[in-house]
Structure 1
Amino acid sequence: MGQTPRPTPRPPSESDTERRRRRAQFLRELNEAKELRARVHPRRARAARMRQQMRMRTFRW
């Protein structure tokens, strides 16, 4: 019922550099998707930026 998903263990053949390369690729694609979304919905993107700025202003370090 409330079982938490466990991270899948990495196959032993996968090297650290391969994992980093895949992660970098994923982050690039994520950034690209965010930029595309911002171009398609500028008002929504602006509102999201404002909300993020507000969160950062009220966040206590």
Structure 2
Amino acid sequence: MPDRDFHDTPSPQPHEEPGAGTDTDAERRRRRAQFLRELAEARALRDRVQPRRAKAARLRHAMRMRTFRW
């Protein structure tokens, strides 16, 4: 295999999304809302698939809320 000269090969350009950094607040809020909907859906699915773990998590959360000092 021939020895390659790395100075002649072009360096890979970082991937840039079109319009990166020019997102409006409405676009950012729309993407955030979509993300939160998908996150809630994933949590609901996990709770249905693992009901015992979900119940234990609910009980731990309730205990944390009871012992929290304002």
TM-score by length of 1: 0.80
Higher relative contact order (CA 8 A, sep 6+): 1
RMSD: 1.0
- Partners of 1:52 and 1:20 lie apart in 2 by 28
Identity, % of aligned positions:
71
Q: Which runs of 5+ in 2 are unaligned?
A: 1-19
> After the TM superposition, which parts of structure 1 deviate over 4 Å for at least 4 consecutive aligned residues?
none
User: Which structure has the larger Rg over C-alpha atoms?
Assistant: 2
As a proportion of its length, which structure holds more helix? 1
- Partners of 2:41 and 2:24 lie apart in 1 by 26
TM-score by length of 2: 0.70
How many residues are treated as equivalent by the alignment? 51
